Amino acid sequence: MLSLENVGLRYGDAPETLQDVTFDVAPRSFQFLTGPSGAGKTTLLRMITLALRPTRGVVTVLGHEVGKLRKDDIVALRRRMGVVFQDFRLLDHLTLYENVALPLRVQGREETSYRAEVTELLDWVGLGGVRDMRPNVLSGGEKQRAAIARALIARPQLVLADEPTGNVDPTLARRILRLLIEMHKAGAAVLVATHDLGLMDQYEPARRLVLADGRLLVFE
């Protein structure tokens, strides 16, 4: 599903941001990526989502070595991933329903083929009652659940979430974690970047990947 081998990343002549990072993510697995602020969690996620390429080492995503990918290959691979961004990245000129449906529209599907699917998912994340509202009038928790719904709508094989509970209260954080666990149980591999130790304690079966000073430790 995902493999990094002796990966390093540096910007210009600066010291490496990531150093000799090696780990694998198996299909249908769940892991947390943690570490202090500035440890490189978001940088590592950007590498996995193909927004960055390593300075050295080998990154393999969904069976494809990143260094050998063409632009068209990158677009196709990204469609097999679901990404929950820390800043939501919802489009304020679209309704909540339209935001969640966007990945399917980009694939060229007709709305009649996915309308029920989007509606069901919005109900599942508890947003059915606000589906016709725009993001700028929603709470932070509602936006976060909308971002999760958008990431899941295309039934991705790999789900990546960057601090998905960073802007919500503990009760909603538990609910968001349950949504991600349900997606994992449905067959996706899930990688959640978080600094919330309490959140990780709520799902003990998950493996923990700990970034510190650009290096990675793995705790089974």
Give the integer Cα–Cα distance in Å for 146 and 156. Answer: 16
Domain shared by 162 and 138, yes or no: no
**pLDDT of 220:** 61
Give the integer Cα–Cα distance in Å for 172 and 100. Answer: 20
Domain shared by 219 and 207, yes or no: yes
- Which of 189, 22, 209, 40 lies closest to 219, judged by CA? 209
Which pTM was predicted? 0.90
Average pLDDT over residues 146-155: 92
What angle (nearest 5°) sits at the alpha carbon of residue 109, between those of residues 103 and 112? Answer: 110
Q: Is the pLDDT of residue 67 over 90?
A: no
Residue type, 55: T
Average pLDDT, whole number, for the chain? Answer: 91
| CA atoms within 13 A of residue 120's CA, in its CB half-sphere | 6
* Alpha carbon 142 to chain centroid, angstroms: 17
Average pLDDT over residues 60-85: 90
Domain shared by 76 and 160, yes or no: yes
Domain shared by 165 and 151, yes or no: no
Q: Is the pLDDT of residue 24 over 90?
A: yes
Give the integer Cα–Cα distance in Å for 36 and 9. Answer: 18
Helix H or strand E encompassing 2: strand 2-9
Helix (H, G, I), strand (E, B) or coil at 213: coil
pLDDT tens-place string over residues 181-207 = 988 998 999 999 998 888 899 998 899
Average pLDDT over residues 14-26: 91
Domain shared by 168 and 150, yes or no: no
**pLDDT of 113:** 94
Give the integer Cα–Cα distance in Å for 23 and 209. Answer: 9
* Domain residue limits at 142: 91-155
Domain shared by 220 and 161, yes or no: yes
